[in-house]
Structure 1
Amino acid sequence: MFAVLAAAAEYELELRAERQSEGMTAAKRREATGGAQRATPTRWLTWSAPAANSC
């Protein structure tokens, strides 16, 4: 059982390292091209609560 947990932890570390590497590559690419840092989720910014008497 411990061998399975150790293998899962190692796999998790490999995935994390791969994602981090991809993120760093993307950041360098954006920096080199002068692109935007990150897209702003306008849907979140424009959301408003329903009116109090909506029923």
Structure 2
Amino acid sequence: MRDESLFNQVHVDPEVHTLVWPNGADFDPATLHDWPELEEVLIARAQKWELITA
């Protein structure tokens, strides 16, 4: 997240216990836990994403 003010609005969802932002972004706890092992794969996948403008 590039917008620090938005990033700082994170909270823990009381039902599913994930990190959630007001714009609907969230992180799966397993992904965060395994991030050191998955980082290179996730970065490679994200670099293939296309930017779609509305």
TM-score by length of 2: 0.28
Q: Which has the higher helix share?
A: 1
Q: Which has the higher contact order (CA 8 A, sep 6+)?
A: 2
Q: Which has the higher strand share?
A: 2
TM-score by length of 1: 0.28
